[in-house]
Amino acid sequence: MSAPSQTYDVAVIGGGLVGASIAYGLAKGGTRVAVLDEGDIALRASRGNFALVWVQSKGMGMPEYAGWTVRGAGLWPQLAAMLKADTGLDLCLEQPGGFHLALSEAELEKRKGLLQRLHNQPRMHSYDYEIMDHSRVKAMLPEIGPQVVGASYCPLDGHVNSLRLFRALHTAMERAGVRYLPNHPAEQVAYEAGAFRVATPRGEVRAGKVVLAAGNGNARLGPMVGLDVPVRPQRGQVVVTERTQPFLRYPVVTVRQTDEGTVMLGDSVEEAGPDPTVGLPIVSSIADRAVRMFPRLGGLNVVRTWAALRVMTKDGFPIYDQSVSCPGAFVATCHSGVTLAATHAFVVAPAIAAGRLPAEEFEVFSARRFHVPAAA
Amino acid sequence: MTAQFPTSDTVSYDTKSDTKARDLPKAVDLAVVGAGPAGLAAATLAASAGLSVLLLDENAGPGGQVYRAITTSPLGEGRVLGPDYWSGAALAREMLASGATYVPGATVWSLSRELELGVSVGGQAHLVQARRVILATGALERPMPIPGWTLPGVMTAGGAQTLLKSSGLVPEGRIVLAGCGPLLWLLAAQYLEAGVRLEAILDTTARENWRAALPEAFGFLTSPYFRKGLALLRKVRAAVRIISGVTTLAAEGDESVTAVRYATAGGESGRIELDTLLLHQGVVPNVNLANAAGIPLVWDAEQLCFRPDVDAAGTSPVAGLAVAGDGAGIGGALGAAERGRLAALAAIAALKPGAPVLAQRPQVEAALHKALRGRAFLDRLYRPADGFRRPAPDTIACRCEEVTARQVTETVALGCAGPNQLKSFLRTGMGPCQGRMCGLTISELMAEAQGVTPAEIGYYRLRAPVKPISVAELASLPKDESAMKSVERG
Amino acid sequence: MFRRLPEASGASVHLTVDGNPVLARAGDTVAAALLAAGIEHCRTTPVTGAPRAPYCLMGVCFDCLVVVDGQGNRQGCLVQVAEGMRVETQRGKREIGR
């Protein structure tokens, strides 16, 4: 699997969900794409995510992101159908609405306030949500325990089998003619005479355009093509149980049952640097909250825990940007590679293929927002 | 609860374990995981040197797999199990008298870099801080993925031997043994001794293995295994139909196994109707806890398995953590005890530098050298054939998720680089066995498909919990304010 | 199918398997007791519903999963029998709460 010397229209650096979604979208549009990826051992958020297609509570401080997310959730059924047609794989997308459970009155009040402030923002893309009390929640989630005082519910929320999404994207990429190059970590990216040369330990890949989709690796790669990508790893830990009969009809932001029957319990938010090790106090806290929400979860066995690294910006919103000094270089980075997968395939990829991220849609996501001197 | 069967040793262990679960020490000098020969010898020696020692083991009694049920076997004193088995009684006896705190029925599910062990006893999770840890988690039988190996009625030879040792159970009806390795022949001999009739032994030892093993024959001729091994083979060969040079095997049946099909290198093929098919092709290190604790795995090209990266004394790159016995690479029961003692001596040297027992080191090393004689010969002679390590396309490779070899190679064709990516795509290794039954098969299949060595492909990265614990147990562990905060969402 | 060697003695233990009385021996694991009682299928898999039976008898294969005293997915080969124990064979995924 040595790197071919041929030239591609686009080299996508990173074969995770973001890179694979964009590569898939590009290839479906007839673009010749190579995806350069790391090997088996990589810090892959795509293997560690919680698999929610999630809308509620996103966009505090950047209302455009709420709209972007709503749009992404809306495009999802189309992506699921296309991937099913291309690969035969059922991604088990379900968008029945989702819950955020509160374990005290204080938590519920805090939740209520946050959603109110979110929706009161100017330019906010408003959508339905509801604050429910215990009995309303109980009617929809009969397994909740007495400590659940209430919840917020948003009908736009859902979830998917994200590992199958990952596999489907890779299968579909291959079928759409994308050249996937594992064990080709990008070491250097150079811009010369209107084209890009990406150096890897297994040789060089040339392309007319380059898309940085390397997660936290984008911070290092960006400056090579005139892009500033201030991202940092943020650790999240997840606990998974053995398979059990279906008991949960709706995803909860920290508890969801997969189509296979396992129950995922998540997920911490830790500023721990690039350390992806699991810590018992954290997973114990995750288990504790989950059992308080759904007491009968206590008897299930845990079969796996893991820690993964989110790709986080200072304000928590994604960066989509294009280079001024190296035209044809783009960056796409976010911590919601599942929720935004359809957006990346159907909105971001065509823009990249056309050679420009339209300002009216993407300006707000440019990293230039971090360069503005802090306003009073 | 004990009143109903007051005479049973097993029950008295259970009682002890209940008591000890409550009194499980919070901190010890040395924690030993696994009460097989390596763990028993390590715990005994360390306790005799005055260290506080905690010996944790999953089973109801000491002995590990090789000396399984050594204190409780219903075949006590009888000849069925043979003198090699009964030689393990001394190890157990010495440990029980050594002052080490022995907790049976204890499942160790995590071990941190700081040597804090997560242990479950009787459904209760505990944390124990150790200054040193010796992992003596032993071996498990190498997966033997043939068509139909998941059918009821197909079992490992080691599993059948466990039933014999701990419950005095033998299969009924028509029985066939298939595979290779010393344990297969030992079980056959034990069955013959017990009056069990065997339909056949389908011997998968490749003929060319004899040539490869020959240069190592001298070591074997002078090893403790030679005489006994030869006598055993003779006895079995005289009493059982042996079909040699078997190159393919397939178990048949719908709800349960009803027959085995085979073909040999000599062009012979056949079908034998049966009720029980016992498979075996050697043993490999049980690496899950060692790897989850941070010890890298290395590919052993001679033994065709991954083993933790430790030196001859079991010392690992993780400070204070050692691996002893077959869990560090297969060396057999006698060698395991000596490797346990070597690891214990290293722990004693670190914690009690002046201890007189440290002078025993040369004797232990000499005993180990003697015990390992002949190992290379056995490794080569019983090297499992390629076709029994890398199954045919339609054969299940991952028993838990029911993934076939074909699905694995098809996914490699997508560019899937290694077993950890494969796990994401196919769920191999994600079931309850956590890769123990498929890990080697997957790495070897992927290596073959990519034209590289298993060393280049690597193995599953393993993480705690290496055995299942309940969500409630996990929730019961100590947690601090910052941990609680990190999981609350606004 | 397994049988007990005549020289293997020991106290009897009474359990039920799917409601039927089964006689085991003190010191047996649940998996051993099932095999001795001629119960070959202890579960069906949650993936395809295929029947499975105890395979490794040493706690690593997880094919002997059964419901013990109302608790699902117990490793039968690691649980010692006890007087009055209720064992159930398991079909597919366990249920939450049992």
User: Cα C77–C81–C87 angle (5° rounding)?
Assistant: 80
Which single residue is written with the structure tokens 């109903």? Answer: B4
**B352 DSSP 8-state letter:** -
Which of C25, C54, C55 has the CB atom closest to B74's CB atom? C25
Q: Is A286 helix (H, G, I), strand (E, B) or coil?
A: helix
Task: Express each pLDDT in B256-266 by its tens digit.
Answer: 999 999 999 99
**What pLDDT band is residue A374 in, cutting at 50, 70 and 90?**
low
**Does the beta-carbon distance from C96 to A299 stay under 8 Å?**
yes
Q: Is B385 helix (H, G, I), strand (E, B) or coil?
A: coil
3-class SS shares of chain C: helix, strand, coil, % to 5: 10, 40, 50
Within 8 A by CB and 6+ apart from B246, the residues are B178, B202, B203, B204, B262, B263, B264, B265
User: Which residues of chain A make contact with B457, given a CB cutoff of 8 A?
Assistant: 40
What the block records as the tokens of B279 is: 């498979």
Task: Express each pLDDT in B421-431 by its tens digit.
Answer: 999 999 999 99
**Which chains neighbour A (Cβ–Cβ under 8 Å, 3 or more pairs)?**
B, C
**Strands A329-333 vs B27-33: parallel, antiparallel or unpaired:** unpaired
Class of domain A232-313: alpha beta
pTM score, whole prediction: 0.94
Mean pLDDT of B284-299: 98
A3 pLDDT higher than 80: no
**What pLDDT band is residue B10 in, cutting at 50, 70 and 90?**
very low
Measure the CA–CA gap between B179 and B202, rounded to whole angstroms.
6
What the block records as the tokens of B74 is: 């219903």
What the block records as the tokens of C62 is: 């997880």
CB B373 within 8 A of CB B223: yes
Per DSSP, what are the bridge partners of residue A48? Answer: none
Measure the CA–CA gap between B119 and B440, rounded to whole angstroms.
27
Q: Is the dihedral of CA A21, A24, A30, A32 positive or negative?
A: positive
| Pairwise pLDDT comparison (B442 vs B231), residue with the higher score | B442
| Pairwise pLDDT comparison (B83 vs B77), residue with the higher score | B83
Average pLDDT across chain B, whole number: 93
Q: Is B391 helix (H, G, I), strand (E, B) or coil?
A: coil
**Does the beta-carbon distance from C96 to A243 stay under 8 Å?**
no
Task: Express each pLDDT in B177-222 by its tens digit.
Answer: 999 999 999 999 999 999 999 999 999 999 999 999 999 888 888 8
Mean pLDDT of A178-196: 96
CB A200 within 8 A of CB A184: yes
A128 pLDDT higher than 90: yes
Domain-by-domain residue ranges, chain C?
A: 12-91
Query: Which run of H or of E encompasses C15?
Result: strand C12-17
| Res A5: pLDDT | 54
Mean pLDDT of A171-186: 96
Q: Is the dihedral of CA A76, A80, A82, A86 positive or negative?
A: positive
| Res B310: pLDDT | 98
**B461 DSSP 8-state letter:** P
Q: Is the dihedral of CA B295, B296, B300, B306 positive or negative?
A: positive
User: Cα A17–A19–A20 angle (5° rounding)?
Assistant: 65
Q: What is the DSSP string of A117-141?
A: HHHTSTT------EEEEHHHHHHH-
Mean pLDDT of A87-92: 98
**Does the beta-carbon distance from A114 to B490 stay under 8 Å?**
yes
Residue closest to A91 by CA, chosen among A108, A78, A74, A104 = A78
**What pLDDT band is residue A43 in, cutting at 50, 70 and 90?**
confident
**What pLDDT band is residue B19 in, cutting at 50, 70 and 90?**
very low
Task: Express each pLDDT in B132-168 by its tens digit.
Answer: 999 999 999 999 999 999 999 999 999 999 999 999 9
Which of C4, C53, C82 has the CB atom closest to B169's CB atom? C4
Task: Express each pLDDT in A352-369 by its tens digit.
Answer: 999 999 999 999 999 999
**Does the beta-carbon distance from A239 to B426 stay under 8 Å?**
no
CATH code assigned to A7-49+163-230+315-370: 3.50.50.60
**A244 DSSP 8-state letter:** B
Which single residue is written with the structure tokens 């990952």? Answer: A166
Does the beta carbon of B478 lie under 8 angstroms from any beta carbon of chain A?
A: yes
Mean pLDDT of A112-119: 96
* Percent of residues, chain B, with pLDDT higher than 70: 95
CATH 3.50.50.60 domain position(s) in chain A = 7-49+163-230+315-370
Mean pLDDT of A92-96: 98
Choose which CATH entry (3.10.20.440, 3.40.50.2000, 3.40.50.300, 3.40.630.10) describes domain C12-91: 3.10.20.440
Mean pLDDT of B36-48: 98
B383 pLDDT higher than 50: yes
C48 pLDDT higher than 60: yes
Q: Mark out chain C residues that contact chain B at CB-CB < 8 A.
A: 1-5, 7-11, 13, 25-29, 32, 35-36, 40-41, 45, 47-48, 50-63, 65, 73, 77-78, 80, 82-83
**What pLDDT band is residue A4 in, cutting at 50, 70 and 90?**
very low
A124 pLDDT higher than 60: yes
Candidate from A11-20, B8-17, B358-367, B428-437 with smallest mean pLDDT? B8-17
Mean pLDDT of B89-101: 97
| Res B11: pLDDT | 31
Per DSSP, what are the bridge partners of residue C88? Answer: C67
Measure the CA–CA gap between A59 and A43, rounded to whole angstroms.
26
Tell me, what amino acid is at A353? A
